Chain A
Protein backbone atom coordinates (compact mmCIF):
# COMPACT_ATOMS: atom_id res chain seq x y z
CA UNK A 1 0.00 0.00 0.00
CA UNK A 2 1.40 3.41 -0.94
CA UNK A 3 1.84 6.10 1.68
CA UNK A 4 -0.89 8.32 0.18
CA UNK A 5 -3.36 5.45 0.08
CA UNK A 6 -2.56 4.57 3.68
CA UNK A 7 -3.06 8.20 4.76
CA UNK A 8 -6.37 8.37 2.90
CA UNK A 9 -7.55 5.14 4.60
CA UNK A 10 -6.58 6.47 8.03
CA UNK A 11 -8.47 9.70 7.34
CA UNK A 12 -11.62 7.83 6.27
CA UNK A 13 -11.50 5.62 9.41
CA UNK A 14 -10.77 8.58 11.70
CA UNK A 15 -13.64 10.67 10.38
CA UNK A 16 -16.03 7.72 10.69
CA UNK A 17 -14.73 6.91 14.19
CA UNK A 18 -15.19 10.50 15.33
CA UNK A 19 -18.77 10.85 14.08
CA UNK A 20 -19.75 7.32 15.15
CA UNK A 21 -18.52 8.07 18.70
CA UNK A 22 -20.44 11.37 18.66
CA UNK A 23 -23.61 9.57 17.56
CA UNK A 24 -23.25 6.95 20.29
CA UNK A 25 -22.86 9.72 22.89
CA UNK A 26 -26.03 11.32 21.52
CA UNK A 27 -27.93 8.03 21.84
CA UNK A 28 -26.70 7.63 25.43
CA UNK A 29 -27.57 11.26 26.21
CA UNK A 30 -23.94 11.77 27.22
CA UNK A 31 -23.02 14.29 24.50
CA UNK A 32 -22.08 17.81 25.68
CA UNK A 33 -24.60 20.50 24.71
CA UNK A 34 -22.23 21.85 22.03
CA UNK A 35 -22.44 18.45 20.28
CA UNK A 36 -26.19 18.46 19.63
CA UNK A 37 -28.11 16.21 17.26
CA UNK A 38 -28.63 19.19 14.95
CA UNK A 39 -24.88 19.86 14.83
CA UNK A 40 -24.23 16.19 14.11
CA UNK A 41 -26.80 16.19 11.34
CA UNK A 42 -25.24 19.27 9.75
CA UNK A 43 -21.61 18.15 9.84
CA UNK A 44 -21.20 14.40 9.26
CA UNK A 45 -21.46 15.08 5.51
CA UNK A 46 -17.75 15.82 5.74
CA UNK A 47 -17.38 12.01 5.45
CA UNK A 48 -19.03 12.21 2.01
CA UNK A 49 -16.85 15.17 1.05
CA UNK A 50 -13.64 13.32 1.93
CA UNK A 51 -14.80 10.10 0.22
CA UNK A 52 -15.75 12.06 -2.90
CA UNK A 53 -12.44 13.88 -3.17
CA UNK A 54 -10.44 10.69 -2.62
CA UNK A 55 -12.64 8.91 -5.18
CA UNK A 56 -11.96 11.51 -7.87
CA UNK A 57 -8.21 11.05 -7.39
CA UNK A 58 -8.61 7.26 -7.68
CA UNK A 59 -10.78 7.64 -10.81
CA UNK A 60 -7.95 9.60 -12.48
CA UNK A 61 -5.63 6.58 -12.13
CA UNK A 62 -8.20 4.42 -13.95
CA UNK A 63 -8.25 6.79 -16.93
CA UNK A 64 -10.83 9.32 -15.70
CA UNK A 65 -13.60 9.91 -18.22
CA UNK A 66 -11.69 8.00 -20.89
CA UNK A 67 -12.47 4.59 -19.37
CA UNK A 68 -15.60 2.99 -17.96
CA UNK A 69 -13.92 2.27 -14.62
CA UNK A 70 -12.74 5.87 -14.38
CA UNK A 71 -16.18 7.14 -15.34
CA UNK A 72 -18.01 4.91 -12.82
CA UNK A 73 -15.63 5.90 -10.00
CA UNK A 74 -15.93 9.59 -10.95
CA UNK A 75 -19.71 9.48 -10.86
CA UNK A 76 -19.83 7.60 -7.54
CA UNK A 77 -17.50 10.31 -6.22
CA UNK A 78 -19.66 13.10 -7.68
CA UNK A 79 -22.62 11.41 -5.98
CA UNK A 80 -20.83 11.66 -2.63
CA UNK A 81 -19.87 15.28 -3.31
CA UNK A 82 -23.47 16.09 -4.27
CA UNK A 83 -24.64 14.65 -0.93
CA UNK A 84 -22.04 16.77 0.85
CA UNK A 85 -23.27 19.83 -1.08
CA UNK A 86 -26.88 19.12 -0.10
CA UNK A 87 -25.87 18.91 3.52
CA UNK A 88 -23.78 22.07 3.29
CA UNK A 89 -26.81 24.02 2.03
CA UNK A 90 -28.99 22.60 4.82
CA UNK A 91 -26.29 23.56 7.36
CA UNK A 92 -26.25 27.12 5.99
CA UNK A 93 -29.98 27.42 6.64
CA UNK A 94 -29.52 26.07 10.17
CA UNK A 95 -26.32 27.83 11.30
CA UNK A 96 -26.38 31.12 9.40
CA UNK A 97 -29.93 31.86 8.31
CA UNK A 98 -31.50 30.38 11.48
CA UNK A 99 -34.61 29.28 9.63
CA UNK A 100 -36.38 26.09 8.61
CA UNK A 101 -35.20 24.49 5.41
CA UNK A 102 -37.63 25.20 2.57
CA UNK A 103 -38.67 22.45 0.17
CA UNK A 104 -37.55 22.44 -2.54
CA UNK A 105 -34.31 24.30 -1.81
CA UNK A 106 -30.86 24.63 -3.31
CA UNK A 107 -29.95 21.58 -1.19
CA UNK A 108 -32.15 19.43 -3.41
CA UNK A 109 -29.79 20.08 -6.32
CA UNK A 110 -27.24 18.11 -4.29
CA UNK A 111 -29.55 15.44 -2.92
CA UNK A 112 -31.54 14.80 -6.09
CA UNK A 113 -28.39 15.30 -8.17
CA UNK A 114 -26.74 12.49 -6.20
CA UNK A 115 -29.57 10.12 -7.18
CA UNK A 116 -29.01 10.88 -10.88
CA UNK A 117 -25.24 10.58 -10.50
CA UNK A 118 -25.57 7.19 -8.80
CA UNK A 119 -27.87 5.99 -11.58
CA UNK A 120 -25.24 6.81 -14.18
CA UNK A 121 -22.42 5.37 -12.05
CA UNK A 122 -24.15 2.04 -11.48
CA UNK A 123 -25.25 1.81 -15.11
CA UNK A 124 -21.59 2.17 -16.11
CA UNK A 125 -20.70 -0.47 -13.51
CA UNK A 126 -23.28 -2.81 -15.05
CA UNK A 127 -21.40 -2.59 -18.36
CA UNK A 128 -18.02 -3.09 -16.68
CA UNK A 129 -19.13 -6.28 -14.95
CA UNK A 130 -20.37 -7.75 -18.23
CA UNK A 131 -23.92 -8.11 -16.88
CA UNK A 132 -25.24 -6.73 -20.20
CA UNK A 133 -23.61 -9.66 -22.01
CA UNK A 134 -25.54 -12.13 -19.88
CA UNK A 135 -29.19 -11.50 -20.87
CA UNK A 136 -29.49 -14.37 -23.32
CA UNK A 137 -32.46 -16.23 -21.85
CA UNK A 138 -36.07 -15.10 -21.61
CA UNK A 139 -35.91 -15.60 -17.84
CA UNK A 140 -33.04 -13.15 -17.52
CA UNK A 141 -34.73 -10.59 -19.78
CA UNK A 142 -37.90 -10.87 -17.70
CA UNK A 143 -35.82 -10.40 -14.55
CA UNK A 144 -34.35 -7.18 -16.01
CA UNK A 145 -37.91 -5.90 -16.60
CA UNK A 146 -39.55 -7.15 -13.42
CA UNK A 147 -37.04 -5.89 -10.83
CA UNK A 148 -37.31 -2.16 -11.67
CA UNK A 149 -41.07 -2.43 -12.21
CA UNK A 150 -41.55 -4.14 -8.83
CA UNK A 151 -39.42 -1.53 -7.05
CA UNK A 152 -41.14 1.38 -8.79
CA UNK A 153 -44.59 0.04 -7.91
CA UNK A 154 -43.51 -0.66 -4.30
CA UNK A 155 -42.07 2.87 -4.01
CA UNK A 156 -45.28 4.32 -5.40
CA UNK A 157 -47.41 2.45 -2.84
CA UNK A 158 -45.19 3.35 0.09
CA UNK A 159 -44.53 7.01 -0.71
CA UNK A 160 -47.01 8.31 -3.26
CA UNK A 161 -50.39 6.60 -2.83
CA UNK A 162 -53.04 9.28 -2.33
CA UNK A 163 -50.53 11.96 -3.35
CA UNK A 164 -51.81 15.52 -3.46
CA UNK A 165 -50.21 17.93 -5.91
CA UNK A 166 -48.29 20.88 -4.43
CA UNK A 167 -46.14 22.77 -6.96
CA UNK A 168 -44.49 21.65 -10.21
CA UNK A 169 -40.97 21.46 -8.76
CA UNK A 170 -42.00 19.94 -5.42
CA UNK A 171 -44.13 17.35 -7.23
CA UNK A 172 -41.29 16.54 -9.60
CA UNK A 173 -39.01 15.89 -6.63
CA UNK A 174 -41.71 14.03 -4.66
CA UNK A 175 -41.85 11.52 -7.52
CA UNK A 176 -38.22 11.86 -8.55
CA UNK A 177 -36.66 10.88 -5.22
CA UNK A 178 -38.39 7.51 -4.66
CA UNK A 179 -38.43 6.58 -8.34
CA UNK A 180 -34.81 7.64 -8.92
CA UNK A 181 -33.67 5.67 -5.89
CA UNK A 182 -35.68 2.65 -7.04
CA UNK A 183 -33.93 2.88 -10.42
CA UNK A 184 -30.38 2.93 -9.05
CA UNK A 185 -30.98 0.03 -6.67
CA UNK A 186 -32.72 -1.93 -9.46
CA UNK A 187 -29.66 -1.55 -11.68
CA UNK A 188 -27.46 -2.62 -8.74
CA UNK A 189 -29.57 -5.76 -8.17
CA UNK A 190 -29.51 -6.58 -11.90
CA UNK A 191 -25.75 -6.02 -12.01
CA UNK A 192 -25.22 -8.37 -9.07
CA UNK A 193 -27.56 -11.08 -10.34
CA UNK A 194 -26.31 -11.14 -13.92
CA UNK A 195 -22.60 -10.75 -13.27
CA UNK A 196 -22.02 -12.88 -10.18
CA UNK A 197 -21.07 -15.97 -12.20
CA UNK A 198 -18.98 -14.06 -14.76
CA UNK A 199 -17.18 -11.61 -12.55
CA UNK A 200 -13.94 -12.82 -11.03
CA UNK A 201 -10.31 -11.87 -10.68
CA UNK A 202 -8.85 -9.16 -8.49
CA UNK A 203 -11.86 -6.88 -8.95
CA UNK A 204 -14.67 -9.29 -7.99
CA UNK A 205 -14.62 -8.65 -4.24
CA UNK A 206 -14.00 -4.94 -4.73
CA UNK A 207 -16.92 -4.39 -7.09
CA UNK A 208 -19.27 -6.48 -4.95
CA UNK A 209 -18.26 -4.37 -1.94
CA UNK A 210 -19.06 -1.24 -3.95
CA UNK A 211 -22.51 -2.67 -4.72
CA UNK A 212 -22.95 -3.37 -1.00
CA UNK A 213 -22.03 0.24 -0.18
CA UNK A 214 -24.65 1.40 -2.69
CA UNK A 215 -27.22 -0.87 -1.04
CA UNK A 216 -26.54 0.83 2.31
CA UNK A 217 -26.87 4.21 0.55
CA UNK A 218 -30.27 3.05 -0.73
CA UNK A 219 -31.32 1.96 2.78
CA UNK A 220 -30.31 5.43 4.03
CA UNK A 221 -32.24 7.20 1.24
CA UNK A 222 -35.27 4.94 1.65
CA UNK A 223 -35.39 5.30 5.43
CA UNK A 224 -35.08 9.09 5.10
CA UNK A 225 -38.05 9.25 2.73
CA UNK A 226 -40.00 6.87 4.96
CA UNK A 227 -39.33 8.78 8.18
CA UNK A 228 -39.89 12.13 6.46
CA UNK A 229 -43.23 11.02 5.02
CA UNK A 230 -44.37 9.84 8.49
CA UNK A 231 -42.90 12.88 10.28
CA UNK A 232 -40.67 10.66 12.44
CA UNK A 233 -37.28 11.90 11.20
CA UNK A 234 -35.08 13.50 13.88
CA UNK A 235 -31.72 15.24 13.58
CA UNK A 236 -28.95 12.93 14.80
CA UNK A 237 -31.30 9.95 14.70
CA UNK A 238 -30.83 6.48 13.23
CA UNK A 239 -31.26 7.74 9.65
CA UNK A 240 -28.31 10.13 9.99
CA UNK A 241 -26.21 7.25 11.31
CA UNK A 242 -27.12 5.04 8.34
CA UNK A 243 -26.05 7.86 6.02
CA UNK A 244 -22.76 8.14 7.90
CA UNK A 245 -22.19 4.37 7.50
CA UNK A 246 -23.09 4.61 3.79
CA UNK A 247 -20.53 7.39 3.19
CA UNK A 248 -17.91 5.45 5.15
CA UNK A 249 -18.52 2.24 3.18
CA UNK A 250 -18.51 4.08 -0.14
CA UNK A 251 -15.18 5.69 0.82
CA UNK A 252 -13.78 2.28 1.78
CA UNK A 253 -15.07 0.75 -1.47
CA UNK A 254 -13.27 3.42 -3.49
CA UNK A 255 -10.07 2.90 -1.48
CA UNK A 256 -10.30 -0.87 -2.05
CA UNK A 257 -10.43 -0.22 -5.78
CA UNK A 258 -7.36 1.99 -5.48
CA UNK A 259 -5.67 -0.95 -3.73
CA UNK A 260 -6.64 -3.22 -6.60
CA UNK A 261 -5.09 -0.78 -9.08
CA UNK A 262 -1.74 -1.03 -7.25
CA UNK A 263 -2.01 -4.83 -7.12
CA UNK A 264 -2.65 -5.06 -10.84
CA UNK A 265 0.27 -2.77 -11.65
CA UNK A 266 2.70 -4.70 -9.51
CA UNK A 267 1.29 -8.00 -10.74
CA UNK A 268 0.84 -9.01 -7.13
CA UNK A 269 -2.44 -10.91 -7.21
Chain B
Protein backbone atom coordinates (compact mmCIF):
# COMPACT_ATOMS: atom_id res chain seq x y z
CA UNK B 1 0.00 0.00 0.00
CA UNK B 2 1.27 3.45 -0.91
CA UNK B 3 2.17 5.61 2.07
CA UNK B 4 0.93 9.06 1.00
CA UNK B 5 2.82 10.79 3.79
CA UNK B 6 6.08 9.17 2.68
CA UNK B 7 5.27 10.30 -0.84
CA UNK B 8 4.70 13.85 0.44
CA UNK B 9 8.08 13.79 2.20
CA UNK B 10 9.77 12.36 -0.88
CA UNK B 11 8.32 15.05 -3.12
CA UNK B 12 9.37 17.82 -0.72
CA UNK B 13 12.91 16.46 -0.59
CA UNK B 14 13.03 16.16 -4.41
CA UNK B 15 11.84 19.76 -4.81
CA UNK B 16 14.39 21.01 -2.29
CA UNK B 17 17.08 18.97 -4.05
CA UNK B 18 16.17 20.87 -7.18
CA UNK B 19 16.87 24.11 -5.28
CA UNK B 20 19.85 23.33 -3.01
CA UNK B 21 21.29 20.11 -4.44
CA UNK B 22 22.77 17.39 -2.22
CA UNK B 23 22.20 19.46 0.94
CA UNK B 24 18.49 18.59 0.70
CA UNK B 25 19.06 14.90 1.42
CA UNK B 26 21.61 15.69 4.14
CA UNK B 27 19.06 17.89 5.90
CA UNK B 28 16.32 15.26 5.54
CA UNK B 29 18.51 12.66 7.22
CA UNK B 30 18.53 14.80 10.36
CA UNK B 31 14.77 14.47 10.78
CA UNK B 32 13.69 12.04 13.50
CA UNK B 33 11.29 9.39 12.25
CA UNK B 34 12.37 9.79 8.63
CA UNK B 35 14.75 7.42 6.87
CA UNK B 36 15.98 7.79 3.35
CA UNK B 37 17.72 5.07 1.31
CA UNK B 38 20.38 5.37 -1.39
CA UNK B 39 17.67 5.72 -4.07
CA UNK B 40 16.14 8.57 -2.05
CA UNK B 41 13.07 6.50 -1.15
CA UNK B 42 11.58 7.74 2.10
CA UNK B 43 9.99 5.82 4.92
CA UNK B 44 8.37 7.36 7.94
CA UNK B 45 7.88 5.88 11.39
CA UNK B 46 5.99 7.22 14.41
CA UNK B 47 4.14 10.52 14.05
CA UNK B 48 4.38 11.00 10.27
CA UNK B 49 2.77 14.41 10.29
CA UNK B 50 5.29 15.63 12.88
CA UNK B 51 8.15 14.23 10.80
CA UNK B 52 6.98 16.21 7.75
CA UNK B 53 6.61 19.35 9.87
CA UNK B 54 10.14 18.81 11.12
CA UNK B 55 11.40 18.22 7.57
CA UNK B 56 9.96 21.49 6.28
CA UNK B 57 11.22 23.32 9.40
CA UNK B 58 14.68 22.00 8.56
CA UNK B 59 14.48 23.62 5.11
CA UNK B 60 12.91 26.75 6.59
CA UNK B 61 16.19 27.36 8.41
CA UNK B 62 17.83 27.84 5.00
CA UNK B 63 15.43 30.10 3.04
CA UNK B 64 12.75 30.97 5.61
CA UNK B 65 9.14 31.12 4.44
CA UNK B 66 10.31 30.64 0.83
CA UNK B 67 11.19 27.02 1.67
CA UNK B 68 7.74 26.50 3.19
CA UNK B 69 5.98 27.94 0.12
CA UNK B 70 8.12 25.85 -2.26
CA UNK B 71 7.30 22.72 -0.24
CA UNK B 72 3.57 23.54 -0.17
CA UNK B 73 3.59 24.15 -3.90
CA UNK B 74 5.34 20.86 -4.57
CA UNK B 75 2.82 18.70 -2.67
CA UNK B 76 -0.34 20.64 -3.38
CA UNK B 77 -1.86 17.83 -5.45
CA UNK B 78 -0.98 15.10 -2.95
CA UNK B 79 -2.16 17.00 0.11
CA UNK B 80 -5.46 18.11 -1.40
CA UNK B 81 -6.64 14.48 -1.34
CA UNK B 82 -5.94 14.04 2.39
CA UNK B 83 -8.46 14.59 5.19
CA UNK B 84 -7.69 18.03 6.74
CA UNK B 85 -6.71 16.52 10.11
CA UNK B 86 -3.99 14.46 8.42
CA UNK B 87 -2.39 17.40 6.61
CA UNK B 88 0.82 18.44 8.44
CA UNK B 89 0.19 21.84 10.04
CA UNK B 90 3.10 23.53 8.26
CA UNK B 91 1.60 22.66 4.87
CA UNK B 92 -1.86 24.14 5.63
| Residues of A participating in the B interface, judged by any CB pair closer than 8 Å | 61-64, 66-70, 128-130, 133-134, 195, 197-204, 261, 264-265, 267, 269
Which chain B residues numbered 1 to 22 have a C-beta less than 8 Å away from chain A?
17-22
Asked if B73 and A133 sit within 8 Å, CB to CB, the answer is: yes
The answer for the CA separation of A32 and B64 in the assembled complex, in Å, is 52
Please give, as numbers and ranges, the residues of chain A lying within 8 Å of B19 by CB-CB distance: 67-69, 128
Segment from B23-31, B35-43, B47-55 that makes contact with A: B23-31
Q: A133-B70, A264-B27, A267-B30 are in contact. Are A204 and B64 (CB under 8 A)?
A: yes
Query: Taking CB as reference atom, which chain B residue is nearest A199?
Result: B66
Asked if A261 and B23 sit within 8 Å, CB to CB, the answer is: yes
Asked if B62 and A203 sit within 8 Å, CB to CB, the answer is: yes
Inter-chain residue pair count (beta carbon < 8 A): 77
Pairs across A and B, CB under 8 Å, 19 listed: A62-B21, A62-B23, A63-B21, A64-B21, A68-B20, A69-B20, A69-B21, A70-B21, A130-B69, A134-B69, A198-B69, A200-B63, A200-B64, A200-B65, A202-B62, A203-B62, A264-B27, A264-B61, A269-B61
Please give, as numbers and ranges, the residues of chain A lying within 8 Å of B69 by CB-CB distance: 130, 133-134, 198
Please give, as numbers and ranges, the residues of chain A lying within 8 Å of B23 by CB-CB distance: 62-63, 261, 264-265
Asked if B17 and A67 sit within 8 Å, CB to CB, the answer is: yes
| Residues of B participating in the A interface, judged by any CB pair closer than 8 Å | 17-23, 26-27, 30, 60-67, 69-70, 73
Min CB–CB distance B91 → chain A (angstroms): 14
Interface centre among A63, A70, A269 (most CB of B within 10 A): A63
The answer for the CA separation of A133 and B61 in the assembled complex, in Å, is 19
Query: Taking CB as reference atom, which chain A residue is nearest B62?
Result: A201
Min CB–CB distance A72 → chain B (angstroms): 10
Asked if B18 and A68 sit within 8 Å, CB to CB, the answer is: yes
The answer for the CA separation of A134 and B64 in the assembled complex, in Å, is 14
Asked if A201 and B30 sit within 8 Å, CB to CB, the answer is: no
Asked if B20 and A199 sit within 8 Å, CB to CB, the answer is: no
Please give, as numbers and ranges, the residues of chain B lying within 8 Å of A130 by CB-CB distance: 63, 65-66, 69-70
Please give, as numbers and ranges, the residues of chain A lying within 8 Å of B63 by CB-CB distance: 128-130, 199-201, 203-204
Asked if B21 and A67 sit within 8 Å, CB to CB, the answer is: yes
Please give, as numbers and ranges, the residues of chain B lying within 8 Å of A195 by CB-CB distance: 66
Please give, as numbers and ranges, the residues of chain A lying within 8 Å of B27 by CB-CB distance: 264
Asked if B66 and A63 sit within 8 Å, CB to CB, the answer is: no
